């Protein structure tokens, strides 16, 4: 094996890109880029029953959206292809034949019913279920009888006796398994397709993979893959198994857990920024030196060190992701924030897709009011709700503000000042608030809060003169009158 760092992400085309899979791809990408090595995408599509139409394309599209690029793959080519397993069957067959010839593998004709009966019997005896080796030494006559019955064989590798499989994991240090824990396992199914552990070991060797970074659920696969490496006298790559991602209740992140959005597509559709997700996912099970948490992709490539992969489970904190995305939104141009938010206003029916130039300018200004506050694009619909309501429903805090004895005087005076305006600008509206202060003698919260509550229905919000300007004189006047009527009633 050469000294070049070569790593891979090997998705199955079974659906959209999950957060956990994205993390695997991202860590491999960072590792390769930091070391000046190669990052390869290999599609593991041998499980035809689970494959979905468009699954491969979806996975690759969302990896690209996150900012991950690869050096080799089915879509970009490379000297180690094909990069889809179903296009590599002839390659696997060659190695299967070699194992059969060397008697390191054999054909097993046991039916599913027979295998299940064997498993049940073992469980009833209090044993860990594993293949017994019942067909490991069939005679030619037995084989002919089974084939005459029309039985299709699977092919099993012979697991060495009394052997310890040991490897130094990049994350977890020394890990070992006893061969006695395994029965002879299937390397080729009855339908002729190779199993995961066999195919992946062949592919990793032939593609020169030097390091395998993956989730801890693959730890139990590692000894089987080492068996394949040793059967062919190949050098195994270095393995690193990342810890689980847990939810806030410290339970394993499950695809059935709808409390947390778990697919990259969902975050893209909500208006999250790819660089924020890239940054956030990198910190799920890896930590940089120091306290800083916001990094550019180039900086993460520069500082990534696999030795700093955590040995403790990562906690997926949606609130932290929202905070981090807000940091990136605040640092983005208004044009980019408009691109994130506008589609959601259109989808909600708040504005028209075919709007006039005046309406477009108004909408851009509306979005700009929340540039600093917005955590993700879709949030603009809720944030701007006050601009699209015909009637305001005051909450308890707002009603408390309107109970102030000075409120009728302030609102009447402010309404009169607005009616005197020749030009409807934030600067002029701000001046009329000051003029209301001068006329009534009320200032601070006693002045601003009644005006804010009466015009917006909220006790907190964007810059008040800007909000009033976008609401328009007619709407503001109606709301002031409604507030005064509610006070009087």
Q: Give mean pLDDT, residues 445-458.
A: 95
Q: What is the pLDDT of residue 1?
A: 53
Share of the chain above pLDDT 70, in %: 99
User: Which residue, 341, 281, 347, is CA-closest to 317?
Assistant: 281
CA distances from 217 to 165, 309, 321, 426 (A): 17, 16, 25, 58
**221 pLDDT higher than 70:** yes
Alpha-carbon distance 285 to 23, whole Å?
Answer: 9
Span between the terminal Cα atoms of the chain, in Å: 85
Share of the chain above pLDDT 90, in %: 90
Instruction: Tell me whether residue 255 is one of the annotated catalytic residues.
Output: yes
Q: What is the pLDDT of residue 2?
A: 65
Phi first, then psi, for residue 312 (nearest 5°) are -105, 150
Q: Give mean pLDDT, residues 40-69.
A: 91
Query: Does residue 93 or residue 247 have the better pLDDT?
Result: 93
pTM for this predicted structure: 0.91
231-256 in b/e burial notation, b at 16+ Cβ within 10 A? beebebbebbbbbbbbbeeeeebeee
The string of pLDDT tens digits covering residues 335-375 is: 999 999 999 999 999 999 999 999 999 999 999 999 999 99
- The pLDDT mean for the chain works out to 95
Residue by residue, DSSP assigns 84-127 as BGGG-HHHHHHHHHHHHHTTSEEEE---HHHHHHHHHHHHHTTP
Alpha-carbon distance 250 to 312, whole Å?
Answer: 11
Kindly indicate the confidence band of residue 248, based on its pLDDT and cuts at 50, 70 and 90.
confident
Q: Which residues pair with 77 in a beta bridge?
A: 73
CA distances from 72 to 61, 261, 375 (A): 15, 30, 35
Q: Give mean pLDDT, residues 461-483.
A: 95
Neighbours of 61 (CB within 10 A): 16
Tokens standing for residue 334: 């208004």
Q: What is the pLDDT of residue 282?
A: 97
**239 pLDDT higher than 70:** yes
Alpha-carbon distance 249 to 141, whole Å?
Answer: 59
User: Active-site residue among 144, 255, 299, 443?
Assistant: 255
């Amino acid at each position: 094996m050469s000294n070049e760092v070569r790593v891979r992400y090997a998705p199955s085309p079974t659906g959209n890109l999950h957060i956990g899979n994205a993390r695997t791809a991202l860590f491999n990408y960072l590792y390769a880029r930091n070391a000046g090595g190669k990052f390869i995408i290999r599609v593991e599509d041998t499980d035809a029953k689970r494959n979905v139409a468009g699954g491969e394309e979806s996975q690759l599209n969302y990896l690209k959206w996150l900012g991950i690029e690869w050096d080799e793959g089915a879509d970009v080519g490379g000297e180690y292809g094909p990069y889809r397993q179903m296009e590599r069957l002839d390659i696997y067959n060659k190695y299967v034949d070699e194992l059969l010839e060397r008697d390191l593998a054999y054909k097993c004709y046991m039916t599913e019913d027979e295998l299940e009966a064997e498993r049940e019997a073992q469980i009833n005896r209090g044993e860990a279920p594993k293949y017994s080796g019942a067909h490991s030494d069939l005679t030619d006559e037995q084989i002919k009888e089974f084939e005459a019955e029309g039985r299709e064989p699977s092919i099993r590798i012979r697991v060495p006796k009394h052997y310890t499989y040991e490897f130094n994991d990049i994350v977890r240090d020394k890990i070992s398994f006893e061969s006695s824990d395994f029965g002879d396992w299937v390397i080729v199914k009855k339908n002729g397709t190779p199993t995961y552990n066999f195919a992946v070991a062949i592919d990793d060797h032939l593609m020169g993979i030097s390091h395998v970074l993956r989730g801890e659920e693959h730890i139990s696969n590692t000894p089987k893959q080492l068996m394949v490496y040793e059967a062919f006298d190949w050098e195994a790559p270095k393995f690193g198994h990342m810890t689980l991602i847990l939810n806030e209740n410290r339970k394993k992140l499950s695809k059935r857990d709808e409390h947390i959005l778990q697919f990259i597509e969902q975050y893209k559709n909500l208006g999250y920024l790819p660089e924020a997700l890239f940054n956030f996912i990198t910190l799920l099970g890896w930590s940089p030196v120091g306290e800083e948490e916001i990094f550019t992709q180039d900086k993460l490539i520069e500082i990534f060190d696999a030795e700093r992969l955590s040995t403790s489970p990562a906690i997926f904190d949606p609130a932290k992701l929202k905070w981090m995305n807000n940091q990136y939104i605040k640092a983005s141009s208004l044009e980019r924030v408009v691109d994130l938010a506008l589609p959601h206003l259109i989808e909600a029916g708040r504005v028209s897709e075919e709007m006039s130039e005046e309406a477009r300018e108004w909408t851009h200004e509306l979005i700009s009011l929340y540039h600093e506050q917005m955590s993700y694009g879709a949030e603009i619909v809720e944030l701007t709700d006050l601009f699209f309501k015909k009637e305001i429903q005051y909450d308890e805090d707002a009603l408390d503000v309107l109970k102030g004895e000075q409120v009728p005087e302030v609102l009447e005076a402010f309404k009169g000042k607005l009616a005197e305006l020749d030009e409807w600008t934030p600067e002029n509206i701000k001046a009329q608030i000051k003029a209301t202060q001068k006329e009534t003698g009320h200032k601070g919260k006693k002045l601003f809060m009644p005006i804010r509550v009466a015009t917006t229905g909220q006790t907190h919000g964007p810059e008040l003169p800007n909000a009033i300007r976008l609401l328009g004189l007619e709407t503001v006047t109606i709301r002031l009158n409604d507030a005064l009527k509610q006070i009087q009633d």
